[in-house]
Amino acid sequence: MSVESLSMAKAINLGLRKAMEHDEKVILMGEDIGPLGGVFRVTEGLQAQFGLNRVLDTPLAESGIVGTAIGLAMRGYRPVCEIQFDGFIFPGFDQITSQLAKLTGRHEGSLSLPVVIRVPYGGHIGAVEHHQESPEAYFAHTPGLRVVTPSTPHDAYWMIQEAIAGNDPVLFFEPKSRYWPKGDVDARASGIPLHTSRVVREGTEITLLGYGPMVNVLLAAAEIAAAEGTSCEVIDLRSLSPVDYEPIVASVQKTGRLVIAQEAPGFVSVGSEIAATVTERAFYSLESPVLRVAGFDTPFPPAKLETVYLPDADRVLEAVDRAMAY
């Protein structure tokens, strides 16, 4: 494969396949990931190719999945765990935040834990409670964990391989609403490093920043704003921990304005942290306050109300208008 049009689900599948071909210590674990290929078919065909010992169907026990992965990593393996849905990660929360995140520090760096935890997250799939959440801030807040999320199939293909190849625990958040739209994947060009934010649309008057499922929304908003005479620069964060601030600060110094968008609730969030840091680092360049567009600070609503809860291009454009009014 060179350049091919693929869905994100297929791109992650191929990325997992490449990682498993490259290193026999890479194993996959999760609920229904074997013959079924996972709820979203991301692991489809991998058990048939690599066998039962490398693609393991597990019991419905997220704490057990993560705990087993920690033990395997301590024995030299590179386990990749799938959490079936974002809201199901909480039974494994203690293992992730109390053990996986801290064991390397406890051993003063002498012990590596190359565990990747794949988490389908976000809304726009019309699902019920516990199936459309955005829990990324919990893990970005936890020292010892790396947290990343792709927004395109190309990034997904390369980022999953980079995450698996690293020696630190990685929470790999996969935007469910972006599993099916296709995009070009270049298997010859890996692009930028895992923990790098990037400008995906150049602009001069205001910076729009988002990650995962929001990047496509921001690009749509930028198109509308351009037709109305406002030039928006769009940045894909890609890495939530650590955050690559250099392109963000440089963009804000150029445009003087910043709108941050996310599906997660806004209170004590990734967007909150970035807003505070950009204000610290680029205060004298700002022409208006940093504004945030987020999910509401309520539990995720029933599916019929998800379009009201989740930020869309209209809500982003309303923030753009407010920022430009200063």
Of 176, 192, 216, nearest to 303 by C-alpha is 176
Do the Cβ atoms of 148 and 195 come closer than 8 Å? yes
Say whether 198-324 and 7-186 share the same fold. Answer: yes
Write down the pLDDT at residue 2.
80
Q: What are phi and psi of 240, to 5 degrees?
A: -90, -20
Whether the pLDDT of residue 131 is over 60: the answer is: yes
Give the SS3 label for residue 226: helix
Do the Cβ atoms of 93 and 145 come closer than 8 Å? no
Write down the pLDDT at residue 191.
74
Give per-residue pLDDT as tens, 174-204. 999 999 999 999 998 877 899 999 999 999 9
Do the Cβ atoms of 275 and 268 come closer than 8 Å? no
Give per-residue pLDDT as tens, 251-298. 999 999 999 999 999 999 999 999 999 999 999 999 999 999 999 999
CA 88 to chain CA centroid, Å, is: 16
Q: Kindly name the residue from 22, 124, 131, 141 that is annotated as catalytic.
A: 131
DSSP H or E run through 267: none
- As a whole number of angstroms, the distance between CA 160 and CA 22 comes to 13
Give the SS3 label for residue 245: coil
- As a whole number of angstroms, the distance between CA 191 and CA 153 comes to 13
The pair of three-digit structure tokens given for residue 34, joined into one six-digit string: 């074997």
Whether the pLDDT of residue 1 is over 70: the answer is: no
- As a whole number of angstroms, the distance between CA 84 and CA 39 comes to 7
Write down the pLDDT at residue 130.
87
Do the Cβ atoms of 32 and 84 come closer than 8 Å? yes
- As a whole number of angstroms, the distance between CA 135 and CA 264 comes to 7
Whether the pLDDT of residue 14 is over 70: the answer is: yes
- As a whole number of angstroms, the distance between CA 320 and CA 84 comes to 36
Average pLDDT for the chain: 96
Is 131 among the catalytic positions?
A: yes
pTM of the predicted protein model: 0.96
Confidence of residue 244 (pLDDT cuts 50, 70, 90): very high
CATH number assigned to the domain with residue range 198-324, chosen from the 4 options 3.40.50.920, 3.20.20.80, 3.40.190.150, 3.40.50.300? 3.40.50.920
CA 314 to chain CA centroid, Å, is: 23
Superfamily of domain 7-186: Thiamin diphosphate (ThDP)-binding fold, Pyr/PP domains (3.40.50.970)
Domain ranges of the chain: 7-186, 198-324
Give per-residue pLDDT as tens, 207-216. 999 999 999 9
Write down the pLDDT at residue 118.
98
